Structure 1
Amino acid sequence: MVDEVAKSLKLNRNLSNNLSKAIELDRAIKIGWGAQGDAKPKEGEVGIAPHLPDGARVRLLGNLGDFTAFCCKGGTFTLEGNALGWFGAFSSGGRLVVERDAGFRCGHGMTGGRLFCQGSVGDEAGAALNGGTLIVRGHAGQRTGIGMQDGTVIVVGDCKADAGQGMTGGRIIVDGRCLPEGEGALQRGLTKAEHKEINGLLKEHDLTVSEDAVVIEADASSSIPSTPPQKTVWGDFSDIGLISGEIPIDASSPIDVVTLLTRGEEDDGIVFPLPVLPELESGKGLSGSLLSEQPCLVEADPRGIDLVRIGETNVSNADSLLPNAAGVVLDLDDFPPLHDGEILALMTGLRSHLGDDKPTLIAGRVDRVTNLHRMLNDQPIDGAIIRLTSGLGMAAPAALPRIGLSARDAGVSETLHILDIPWGATADDAAIAAAAGCGIIRANPFEAEEEIPGTQKARAVAVENWLAEFSATLRGRLTDMGVDALEKLNRRHLRALEHDTAAQSGLRLAGYDRPLPQWMGQ
């Protein structure tokens, strides 16, 4: 896996270094051939050629893995070989060609451009399509166009069952055998006007569809309503106490609350002066005596010290966001379901923009923490943000042992954990999280506020004041506890203030000063 990522990053780096010059000279880049034209095909690289810009022309020989040419913005990309899943996903422009077969979810989430597969495609090709055109010369797998909202899918060959499942817009044209359409879709014949239009689109590919081709489109009378469970967390940490030490520290004593996030031993990493990651929509205008040094989690305009949260809504802009950022957080809750190999491929493509030496993190829900920890152990990922909110609605204190035991079992207890606090977080929440093994908390500084300041300057001032109060409260708490470094906190510093919290969390019950019997041995 490490070798696969390394060769993929190297290929993307070489492509990026040559791309601007090739566009300027209007030349195509050929990959997979030697200087004398001899074939040297690539094999298994992942996340290749992300975010191709207008004017780019790339031809690659070989068989590639997941997320090839995703988020294409323009130009052309031709693959002389096969591609695995998510080929051309999230593309907004350009012309993509795979000369053999493409795998699962080919063209997922496209909003523009054209993708042409000369072979066949796997299941769920064109899923969540919201524009653009996907043309398949061969056959298509099951659930083609699932969740389509707009755009056109043309299958010249056969199409397996459940095409158009849950679609709300767009159309699927099938000229071969077509098994029954999916729920929420209906099938009809091709009109003369559509027949002319579709053959006009296919002319440059030397293809045609017959007048007997069928159209699959949304059935407004048979939609599929789906309301996910509300993501909640029961309570907060107010029923967890922090033990004051027998001998406090002088209030003026030096206190070490700095946390470091690195990729390796020689990496300078990201320095967190306070154990909190404020989440804000944008990093623009964030400055102040504390704020200028404190990394934030943003979705736009990152500063050089900020982490960028990447989800389905902003992945197409990752090429402009990540080069200026200190690291990336891949939000798994904001993407369709991805298996480990697909996550690795997507992260590899993003790292091509971010740089090899900057940290990468994943974010997900506490009820899926075992899966997050497995990926932390198996993949080159540097940390995790764990959300307390979930469809399970777990009690907040109960999340702490679940995270700790899972991390211990996966062997990732020393990897940085950032606990996502969904309420108005305080310095005590940060101390409790640190004692439970989560070195930093993610917090919204305006969670408890009725209004968010309307200007950049006012917002920066408000966050600066919030950080100042956070810093003073944290210092006061640690000096009272007699602890001079945040990293010295552990579960022995925590007490459950009532029986239910002790039962949920495994913490020692205040006054009883030992875990409840059911937690003995854990």
Structure 2
Amino acid sequence: MTRGYLTDIHRHRNMAGAQDVVERSMSINAKFLPRLKAAVEQNALLRIGWTGSGEEVPKNGEVGLCPGIPEGARIKALGKLGSWTSPFGAGGRFNVEGEVGSFFGAYNNGSTVTCTGFIGRCGGFMMQEGTLVGSEGADTDLGMFMSEGTIFVQGQVGSRLGNGMTGGLIIIQGDVEEDVGIAMKGGRIIIEGRCPTPPLGISLRPLKAKELKEINSILLDYDTVLSDDALCLEPNDEIGLEVQSNHVSSGDLSTIGLVPMGEQTLIENHPVDTVAFIPGTEEEAPAIMLPIPILPRIPDGNLLRTEDNSSGRLTRIQSQPFLVIENPRPIDIVQLNLQSLCNLISTAPVVSGVCIDMDSLPSMNPEEIDGLLVAIRTLMTTQSPIMTLQGISRIQSHHQSSAYHEVQAAISRIEDGSGTPEAATLPIMGRSKKNELDKTSVITALEFGFTSDAHDVVVARCAGADFVITEPPMLEIDDIEYWLQGLTIDLQNTLRNLGLDSIDILQRSHLRALDHDTASVSGLRMSGYERPLPHWFAR
């Protein structure tokens, strides 16, 4: 494979070109986006790729440009732009004179985005409203998961057009490749050109006269019309089968014990430090403080509102950051998945950090991840941490990517469908952390599929995780408060029993496997045998 920006993530930022692209992109956003409000008031056009005197200076590869452009804004760009150009649009207009990379106009919610050249893959991804127009064709997965809005492209379009779309209208004047409309559940795809046989569940029919008139009225703005030969694809009424995997890990951490390493037990009520930190983007940037090394996960932050806490009984909840999907508090971290990214414009500026669920999004190469990170960073507080979340079975590539993109934390999800036992994740994480993150500032964490107790948290810390993500046992505010209080007390008592006054002193040597199977998959010293099983030393 040819080494380069799109394929090589092992040469951590040694390639000046990749870093330069990110810096140029952030600089353009920092320069232009603050001027949008004044430009809207003056009905002025902002131009990217021209000097003040009008001389052309085409852009080349910049990523994540101009996210979240507001209603009334007008921006024109010249050159060959990279991925995630003009995402999260909120009503403005963005025109590219040239080519554009993947995820052009992604998460559009009312903007009009146009391109005179070729559009990369996943154009109009998760589009909710607005318009996307292309004049020279598009790559694969155009209109993927769109729910509303209109896409009009002239020229050849790649495979899986309208992949998984649930609504909206796609119009293509040109030939399309295979699997048109695959997994679509709503909306229409209109094609004037060669169209292969659609996949199961998608019907292909001629346009009705009323529909043709409707489509042509839309196309009047683009000086073109469809002929009577145009075809319409839409989902039929056949019953679709959806198979979900329930393959989960085969155990928990109860078969791992904790032993002191010669330290004397601390007396009751001896002060113990249980604080963990998620660093900001720079050394001097404020970190997120976790009173105990857990990040509780709940779906809706409204559950945590404590405006009526006059009695002061909810002190733990008020100081504990949570990982939430919607309605976060200012101290919370928002989990950005396929759906919650739709609300990025409103959530990003008001949270202490974000966690990107990479498993919920289409797989992306390093250039595309850079584009997404630039767009997110532009919309949120500059120094707030960005974390990524991915399955434990991809931990090595995840850690490599985290180091390359300089995110603040790499979180591994144990319940990723691989069935990896919890005990086996400990050496997997430790080995990958040592090999891929040893000389970086990236911290690591584990996401458990069960409600963790103090023992689980201590075991994870011994194995190298800086904190764990877990769900509260119940989603009632009083129950969550009592759970946090009990977890804090149990964590302090566990450390005192080990003779430690800080959670930062924990080491892997404090762990013991309590049975043969756990020792076999974890590489831990077996209790009684007091060393790892022999096969861990085999070469």
TM range (shorter): over 0.9
In structure 2, C-alpha distance between the alignment counterparts of 1:302 and 1:135, rounded to whole Å: 36
CA distance in 1, matches of 2:179, 2:137: 17
Partner of 1:240: 256
Residues 52 and 74 in structure 1, CA contact (< 8 A), matched pair in contact too:
yes
2:418 maps to which of 392, 396, 400: 392
Contact 2:286 2:383 in 1 (8 A): no
Q: Counterparts of 1:343-358 in structure 2 under 5 Å?
A: 343-358=369-384
CA contact (8 A) 1:195 1:211 kept: yes
User: 2:63 maps to which residue?
Assistant: 46
Give the residue type in structure 2 aligned to 1:365: G
Q: For the residues of structure 2 that align with 1:313 and 1:148, how far apart are their CA atoms?
A: 14
Post-superposition Cα deviations, 1:388-412, rounded to whole Å, max 9, x if no partner, equal: 1021222111111111122222234
Secondary structure of the equivalent of 2:520?
Answer: helix
Give SS of 2:286's match.
coil
2:483 paired residue number? 466
- 2:308 is equivalent to residue 281 of structure 1: no
C-alpha distance in structure 2 between counterparts of 1:83 and 1:98, whole Å: 7
Tell me the distance in 2 between the aligned counterparts of 1:299 and 1:229.
23
Deviations 1:155-199 (A, max 9, x none): 112222221222222221111222333343232222211211111
Q: What's the counterpart of residue 415 of structure 1? A: 442
Q: Given the alignment of the two structures, is residue 250 of structure 1 paired with residue 267 of structure 2, yes or no?
A: yes
**Under a length normalisation based on structure 1, what TM-score does the superposition of the two structures give?**
0.93
Distance in structure 1 (CA, Å) of the matches to 2:327 and 2:23? 28
| Equivalent of 1:170 in 173, 182, 187 | 187
Q: How does 1:486-497 map to 2 (within 5 A)?
A: 486-497=503-514
- For the 8 Å contact 1:373–1:412, the answer to whether it is kept is no
Report the Cα distance in structure 1 between the residues aligned to 2:127 and 2:249, rounded to whole angstroms.
34
Tell me the alpha carbon deviations over residues 224-258 of structure 1, each in whole angstroms, 9 at most, x when there is no partner: 53413125222111111110354112233332222
Which structure 1 residue ranges, 4+ long, deviate > 6 Å from structure 2?
none
Which of these residues, 166, 169, 174, is aligned with residue 152 of structure 1?
A: 169
Equivalent-residue separation in structure 1 for 2:195 and 2:180 (angstroms):
8
Which has the higher mean CA deviation after the structures are superposed, 121-130 or 159-168? 159-168
Q: SS at 1:94's partner residue? A: strand
Q: Provide the C-alpha distance between the structure 2 equivalents of 1:171 and 1:318, rounded to a whole number of angstroms.
A: 27
Give the secondary-structure state (helix, strand or coil) at the position aligned to 2:47: strand
Name the % identity.
33
- Are residue 325 (structure 1) and residue 351 (structure 2) matched? yes
Task: Report the Cα offset of residue 302 of structure 1.
Answer: 2.7
Give the Cα–Cα distance (whole angstroms) in 2 for the partners of residues 36 and 116 of structure 1.
Answer: 29
Partner of 2:223: 206
Aligned runs of 1:24-103 on 2, under 5 Å? Answer: 24-103=41-120
Counterpart amino acid of 2:218?
L
Query: 1:165 touches 1:182 (CA, 8 Å); kept in 2?
Result: yes
1:178 counterpart SS class = coil
Amino acid at match of 1:384: A
SS of equivalent residue, structure 2 residue 68: coil
Q: How does 1:135-146 map to 2 (within 5 A)?
A: 135-146=152-163
2:243 aligned to 227, 244, 255, which one?
A: 227
Q: Which residue of 2 aligns with 1:509?
A: 526
State the AA in 2 paired with 1:275: P
Q: How far 1:483 sits from its partner (Å)? A: 1.4
The structural deviation recorded for 1:206 is: 0.3
Tell me which residue corresponds to 2:198.
181
Deviations 1:433-469 (A, max 9, x none): 0000001111212x3x3xx32xxxxx1x433322221
Which structure 2 segments of 5+ residues have no match? 1-17
1:304 to 317, 323, 330: 330
The 3-state SS of whatever aligns with 2:412 is strand
2:83 maps to amino acid: D
Contact 1:175 1:212 in 2 (8 A): yes
Unaligned segments of structure 1, at least 5 residues: 454-458
Write the deviation string for residues 286-324 of structure 1: whole angstroms up to 9, x where unpaired.
574333332221223333322111111111211111111
Give the aligned residue type for 2:455: D
- Alignment match, 2:340: 314
Give the match for residue 403 of structure 2: 377
- 2:452 is the alignment partner of 1:434: no
* In the alignment, structure 1 residue 359 sits paired with structure 2 residue 377: no
CA distance in 2, matches of 1:122, 1:55: 29
Cα distance in structure 1, aligned partners of 2:479 and 2:163:
45
Comparing 432-441 and 289-298, the one that deviates more = 289-298
Deviations 1:18-42, CA, capped at 9 Å, x for gaps: 1122223332222222111111222
Change (3 A) 1:162 1:301: closer
Partner of 2:7: none
| Residue correspondences, number | 511
Quote the residue 2:428 is aligned against: 402
**Would you say the 8 A contact 1:377–1:412 is kept in 2?**
no
One-letter amino acid of the counterpart of residue 197, structure 2: P
**Aligned amino acid, residue 297 of structure 2:** E
1:369-428 Cα offsets, whole Å, 9 max, x none, are 122112112112111121110212221111111111222222348631121122121111
How far residue 107 of structure 1 moved from its aligned partner, in angstroms, is 1.0
Equivalent position amino acid for 2:463 in 1: A
Rounded to whole Å, the distance in 1 between the matches of 2:240 and 2:404 is 37
The answer on 1:482 being equivalent to 2:499 is yes
Which amino acid is the alignment partner of residue 324 of structure 1?
Answer: V
Are residues 173 and 8 of structure 1, via their aligned partners in 2, closer, same or farther at CA, if it must alter by over 3 Å? Answer: same
- Residue identity matched to 1:482: G
Q: CA-atom RMSD, angstroms?
A: 1.9
CA distance in 2, matches of 1:218, 1:421: 38
- Secondary structure at the counterpart of residue 319 of structure 2: coil
